[in-house]
Structure 1
Amino acid sequence: MAGIGPAPILFNEFFQMFMRCMPPNGWPVNSKIAVGNSGGPDSTCLLFLLQKLLTDLRSKTMARQSIPTSVVSLSVNHNLQEASHSMAARSAANAAAMGIEHLTLDIPWGTPPFSDKPVASQSMEQVAREARYHVIFDGMARTGAHSVAFGHHADDQVETSLMRLARGTTELGAGGMRRCRRWGMGTGDVEGGLGWVGHHGLDRWIIRPLLDVRKDRILATCEEHQLDYVNDPTNFQPEITLRNAIRQMLTLQEEGKDMVLSLLIITQSALSGLPQHISGSLEKIKVAAADLQETTMDLEGGLHQLHGAVKVLSSRLEDVDNEVTFHLKNLTLPSPPSTLILSSHALPAIVDPTVRLALVLRVMRYVSFHPWGSLRADGNRRRTSIQRIIDTLWQSDGAPPFTAGGGVLWQPAIFSAKKRLRVGTQCLGRRLQLGERFAWMASRLPAVPYNMLDTAILPSKLDIDVTERLASATSRGDDFLEVLFDCRFLVRFDLSQIPEELVEALRKSQETGVNVRIKPHTKYYWPKVVLRKPSCVDIAYATLMDNGQIDTFGHAPWVTMKYIRLLDAT
């Protein structure tokens, strides 16, 4: 007798999956959610379930304020293979059949910020991914979507975990993709460049409601509801990407072949001609999986075992996030803006190496001048560097100031609620007075010594000429102008209160050479707005002070400065 096939996803079941993906502060009122629609079975299933769910819940008063109100379908035409256009057309047709707003996003290769069309190589996957995410974020902005949902499922989660193991990730990375995460500032430092998002990415979210669902259940759902879809032919070409090679490896194993034999077939026979970086990565996966401490990830145990192992790692990731959040609330002392001071005496209570690692990464991401959410803000997660930070912070006898990546300076400190804060080498070997405690301060790594800030040539992100932007905004009659400074501060100009003499200076700037700039001051590199005249001392118009307030030097409060980096886990 034939066995019972996989069950389709039930609507009540999907509701629970979807609500587990809700951002920490909930869904904004009357928000719109986008779906990354490739035309394949995963995104088609997700689009159908989400549209059905929101349609059903819109009539229920209890849910009106807690879920998005509409869906928009976004598909990307990569223009990298012949099937690109047909898949984009299928995506649009599926959305139309469901009565869903749709937008097709073409990648214009060769038009800045996009590079020339990539060819099959080790970097093609990363270039295509950055281009895809760039146009998707643009599509979200154009359609007003607060979040984007992707159809990644449990099988994808296994593949992602194995890919990260091949790249030398920690067990935190091996936990795979998060159900819900902030988009982040992107991967590039150049404003307007590929991968750059800036501060707008801190207010948008990526969710993955189907992460606990196997692929076979998604296919069963498509069959149950007669959903039409296409399969991307490149998903079955292991020589193109590491993910495809892993997928083929797992498919061979699922079909009943011995895993060791499968690896041999992939690397030597059936898939002969694989690029060396892919075949080498497959070998690294086996070694890294065997070294995991939290769970047993046996590549010869089959997909069922791998799903269970990755689920353990994902759950562990959530537990560690919660534990780090708890410890940071207890460890953090009042700190100057843009810095973080951790009480040393409470650090030894954290004994779990994984929690220590996650705490250090959280602090680095908060303080770093690299884009929030990027690997560079985490010091590229280099194990030796991060371990050096952990070893130094958790030793009891103190250490001189040091850096170990991520653009973060770690300094010993002595904190007193009533006296001034002491930071740096002056704290070494010093006896504590009544009411004092030892601490560590994490702050931005200086680009040049503080006493050279007014004379040194600084990178453009630290010396921003906003003259043209201010002039254009005022001539258009805009209410506000926002500028991200050093990937850390959002400087906001209220143009209705801009000093009249500055408006006049902007009008004549091309003739006089006068310009308005945002530049750093203090050893913490806080922003300062100045008017610069040729052969004259800069005139300060607004600056951030120790208490977080803004000094506008007697003018109306026309400039605000907000530190926007987050200590959140996602």
Structure 2
Amino acid sequence: MAAKNAISVSQFAEHFRLAWSGVRGVVPHGHQGLIEDVAHLPRRVGLAVSGGADSMALAYLCRQLEKTPIGGPISVTAFVVDHRARAESTAEAKTVKSWLSALGIDTQILELDWSQISGSQDQSTKSNAALSMPTAFETHARRLRFQALGKACRKNDIQALLLGHHRDDSIETTIWRLATGARRAGLGGIQSVARIPECHGIFGVSESGKSLQFTDPNNNNSKRKTDKSIYSSKESFATGGVFVCRPLLSCSKARLLATCHENNIPYVSDPTNFDPTLTPRNAVRSLIASNSLPLALQGSRILALIRSSRDLLQVSSSLSDQLLSSRCRILNMNLRTGTLTIQFSDVPSWMDPLAAHNSPERVRQIQALTLRRITELVSPFPQNHFSLRSFEPFVSRIFGSTEQAPPHGNVGAPKPFTLGGVMFSYVASGDNQTKSGKSTWRLTRQPFMKNRAPTTSFDLPFPTEKKISGRKPSYTHWALWDDRYWIRFSLALNNKQKKHRSTLSEDGFQGSGLALQIRSLQQSDFQELDKDKVTAIRLANLRKLLSSEAPGPARFTIPVLTHTGLIDNPLEKGKLLALPTLDCPLHGPHLKDTNTMEIVVEGTSWILRWAWMFKMIDTDALRLMGRPVEA
């Protein structure tokens, strides 16, 4: 029986190929060219191996595929996480590594750093927490585990991290979601491919690592030619990152056990996985194992529910695409300020392709899905952060009502509203668009609450004599500000001072380094610029720039760079330096490159450079609304 049920290498290769093909639905159209081997198996593969039968069967099959490249040559690296929650965890991790090494798999042990959560590395404290608060402990452990795995994949240039989830896991997850109130598309089981979770804000791991750059033809670039030192037409947004792939989702747990037994693969069983008193998920697993669930919740019924839910999601996505392409048109998109101007068209209900074969309730759901996709282009929140139900009350303001005439006409201009972290402001037009069935809205990041604006600090050590002699600037790490902008900086001695390095000791500049901070632009900043006696021409150009790029309250949602002193000698109040995403220095002479500025520290002139990119965005939505992306 074991030989009959064991998974063969050719079967695994086909499962892997089908699972990885799902990356097409996860990666937007404009990003797919930068994802390694979208049409084939990825060449570099990471494995998350716990030592259980699921992950050990996966490791064995990947090793066989590596030796017999049915789907093309692949390179496999296994990662074993030492959670360090128990005294014996390190020895257990080493044992699993020895099993994998015996299979010929390159293996790395990743030790979790609990200090960033618990503030302590004491193993007895973590063990007690695991027993007293199992759900909270499991949540913390999951976050640290995925972050360690994500960083390891980045270090090893791996985009595909394989997990050993199987069909029984998907059934279990769906039953648990049913119990927690999930409906419709929320019952689609476990995804075969998804972006790595728990890694938000880690560059090169979560939706980042590379960039796409384009010039927006809808922005009036001719005006920007008036002052190249201030205006810049280049815009970049992030792409790349790590994906988790589950190639065994169509296989049962029994087949994975058979694969281990048939091929003499060692594995360990954790009895706590079936203890119903520890976690709600364990309770579901125990009911399934004991065959205690009613007929409606048996495996075959749940698998049918999963297929139905996925079909519904696919149809919903297709109808949302139709809505974007037929009734939404981008007039202007400005990544420098995170603003978007869209024209929405109303059509009579009898002409609406959505309303033709769908109930009003179903149409509202599709409209809500579409509205969420649109807001996520400029929202400071992660994808799907807000439920679809929260969007439904607002769809009539944008798309009109399916049951009555659109709420335009002679009732005055629609009022602004905030939805999904985005402010919608109606844009008046001289051609009275509302009477022609069209309305235009400007979307900007929701204004910051008082004393709640985000700040991100950067420490730039003054470069040593050796680093100064180098040609390439050394940048800081990329940091995510307001969940919208990736930003980094570099500091170099001004070329004109390299002949006179009397201020440099053997260790570098006499001082630890420069302290910078990114925050949002504020009304008081204009008063500060006036006090600093900024030239009238520069201040006028700044106001003109903001009026064009970020009109109204939108200007107070863009990042501004401030100098907060030396690392070991902070200033009482930061000094304004630049608007980095607008490539607009606020002090010093205009330099050739707009993303650089001169800054003088204790009589020594330095060149400060910055680079930025907008967060990853749904380029499929842009393309459907008439804004194709050019790599």
CA deviation digits over 1:327-351, x for unaligned, max 9?
A: 4455241323223444422686545
Contact persistence 1:324–1:358 (CA under 8 A): yes
- Equivalent in the alignment of 1:179: 192
- Equivalent in the alignment of 1:446: 447
Cα distance in structure 2, aligned partners of 1:484 and 1:136: 20
CA deviation digits over 1:340-385, x for unaligned, max 9?
A: 4444226865454543343333334332223x34x6xx23x2x652
- Equivalent in the alignment of 1:273: none
Identify if the C-alpha distance between structure 1 residues 435 and 516 changes in structure 2 by more than 3 Å, giving closer, same or farther. Answer: farther
- Equivalent in the alignment of 1:213: 251
The match for 1:362 among 361, 369, 373 is 373
Cα distance in structure 1, aligned partners of 2:434 and 2:510: 55
**Which has the larger Rg?**
2
CA offset at residue 72 of structure 1? Answer: 0.9
1:27-176 alignment, distance < 5 Å: 28=36, 32-57=44-69, 63=72, 69-80=74-85, 84-85=89-90, 87-109=92-114, 111-114=115-118, 117=126, 118-119=129-130, 120-121=132-133, 122-176=135-189
Cα distance in structure 2, aligned partners of 1:473 and 1:556: 24
CA deviation digits over 1:52-95, x for unaligned, max 9?
A: 2233228x8xx35xxxx311111223344577456524421231
- Equivalent in the alignment of 1:556: 593
CA offset at residue 41 of structure 1? Answer: 1.4
- Equivalent in the alignment of 1:519: 519
- Equivalent in the alignment of 2:17: 19
Cα distance in structure 1, aligned partners of 2:573 and 2:452: 19
Which letter maps to 2:165? Answer: H
Which letter maps to 1:137? Answer: G
Which letter maps to 2:152? Answer: G
CA offset at residue 245 of structure 1? Answer: 0.9
The match for 2:398 among 383, 393, 396 is 393
- Structure 1 residue matching 2:423: 3-state secondary structure: strand
Which letter maps to 2:460? Answer: R
Cα distance in structure 2, aligned partners of 1:214 and 1:300: 19
Cα distance in structure 1, aligned partners of 2:322 and 2:464: 43
Contact persistence 2:457–2:516 (CA under 8 A): yes
Contact persistence 1:161–1:174 (CA under 8 A): yes
- Structure 1 residue matching 2:191: 3-state secondary structure: coil
Which letter maps to 2:116? Answer: P
| 2:483 paired with 1:491 | no
CA deviation digits over 1:12-54, x for unaligned, max 9?
A: 3322222231544375389522111011111111112222223
Deviates more, 1:42-51 or 1:121-130: 121-130
When the two structures are superposed, what TM-score results if normalisation uses the length of structure 1?
Answer: 0.71
1:244-323 alignment, distance < 5 Å: 244-253=282-291, 257=292, 259-260=293-294, 300-323=296-319
- Equivalent in the alignment of 2:345: 345
- Equivalent in the alignment of 1:480: 475
- Structure 2 residue matching 1:163: 3-state secondary structure: helix
Which letter maps to 1:72? Answer: T
The RMSD of aligned alpha carbons is 4.2
Cα distance in structure 1, aligned partners of 2:464 and 2:424: 40
1:461-476 alignment, distance < 5 Å: 461=455, 464-466=456-458, 468-469=459-460, 471=462, 476=467
Gaps of 5+ in 1: 261-298, 420-429, 449-455
| 2:421 paired with 1:407 | yes
Deviates more, 1:40-49 or 1:10-19: 10-19
Point out which structure has higher relative CO (alpha carbons under 8 A, 6+ apart).
2
Contact persistence 1:530–1:542 (CA under 8 A): no
Cα distance in structure 2, aligned partners of 1:498 and 1:211: 57
CA deviation digits over 1:98-147, x for unaligned, max 9?
A: 211111223343x2245562334342332221122122223323433222
CA offset at residue 397 of structure 1? Answer: 1.5
Contact persistence 1:342–1:441 (CA under 8 A): yes
Identify if the C-alpha distance between structure 1 residues 323 and 307 changes in structure 2 by more than 3 Å, giving closer, same or farther. Answer: same
- Equivalent in the alignment of 2:541: none
Contact persistence 1:532–1:539 (CA under 8 A): no
Gaps of 5+ in 2: 25-31, 121-125, 210-238, 356-361, 401-405, 409-413, 522-549, 566-570, 596-609, 622-631
Cα distance in structure 2, aligned partners of 1:414 and 1:223: 71
CA offset at residue 387 of structure 1? Answer: 2.6
CA offset at residue 556 of structure 1? Answer: 1.8
Identical amino acids, percent of aligned pairs = 20
Contact persistence 1:499–1:556 (CA under 8 A): no
- Equivalent in the alignment of 1:271: none
Contact persistence 2:464–2:509 (CA under 8 A): no
Larger strand proportion of the pair: 2
CA offset at residue 474 of structure 1? Answer: 9.9
Contact persistence 1:159–1:246 (CA under 8 A): yes
Q: How many residues align?
A: 478
Cα distance in structure 2, aligned partners of 1:106 and 1:445: 39
Contact persistence 1:183–1:202 (CA under 8 A): no
Contact persistence 1:414–1:437 (CA under 8 A): no
Cα distance in structure 2, aligned partners of 1:139 and 1:311: 34
